Structure 1
Amino acid sequence: MEEELSPDPDEAPRYNQYPDTGCELAGACLNCPYPLCHYDDPALARRLRNIIMGKRLLYQLKRGRTLVEAAAAKGLTLRTAERRVAEYREAKEKQRGVEFDDV
């Protein structure tokens, strides 16, 4: 009886299954809306997370919460919440090729 040998993962990457697990910014790498991977530029990822948080805070404000309440619900200080909202508004004005309304 001949035993079938499995390919060496280092020699034959085409035999490996690489799951597209994405990251905290996108559910799948192949469907990511951002122009640059956050693993390639961590500063960009941090900025995008801050912008997304600003959008979420504004959503809470539109639903009738105060900024103090929205910040407390997200575990942020009032000043940090103010900065996140300002970062979102600044990014919205610039629209650097990324549609933040889709996030």
Structure 2
Amino acid sequence: MVTSCNHYNECGCEVSACCLDCPLPVCKFEFKQGMKTVSATLKSLRISHFLDEGRSMAWIMQVMGVSRRTVYRAKSDRNSVTDPLTLSVRRATMNVEAIAASSNRETSNAR
């Protein structure tokens, strides 16, 4: 059976009609609770972004429609941004950081 994206297998979900066009960095099917986990992660990232911009707690609560506890929870989760990533993406992120750190050491040793 050919789907709307011309694949011969079922693909897509409520986020996108085709997996190849999906805007999510990690597929919702990789999480135990699916879209619920994706929505919670995106909400937490939005709150973290507002906190980084210096927005007030009251403003974030009003705009996002969340409680003070949710904002504090997102604030504490900011340190663990890589938790929702898959293992391969997490390794790639660590590799990039390791390469950057080693190149900084090499330039400081050359002086």
Report the TM-score when normalising by structure 1: 0.52
8 Å Cα contact 1:22/1:28 also seen in 2: yes
Structure 1 outlier segments of 4+, above 6 Å? none
Give % identity: 16
Ranges in structure 1 where 5+ consecutive residues have no aligned partner: 1-12
Alignment partner, residue 58 of structure 1: 48
Amino acid at match of 1:69: W
Work out whether 1:81 is the aligned partner of 2:67.
Answer: no
CA shift in 2, pair 1:85/1:96, >3 Å? farther
Ranges in structure 2 where 5+ consecutive residues have no aligned partner: 6-10, 91-111
Alignment partner, residue 23 of structure 1: 14
8 Å Cα contact 2:12/2:19 also seen in 1: yes
CA deviation profile, 1:7-47 (whole Å, cap 9, x unmatched)? xxxxxx24xx52576534x674214432x444x75614322
Amino acid at match of 1:56: R
Structure 1 CA distance, aligned partners of 2:40 and 2:68? Answer: 14
- Higher relative contact order structure (alpha carbons within 8 Å, sequence separation ≥ 6): 1
Query: As a proportion of its length, which structure holds more helix?
Result: 2
Amino acid at match of 2:19: C
Number of residue equivalences: 82
Alignment partner, residue 43 of structure 1: 33
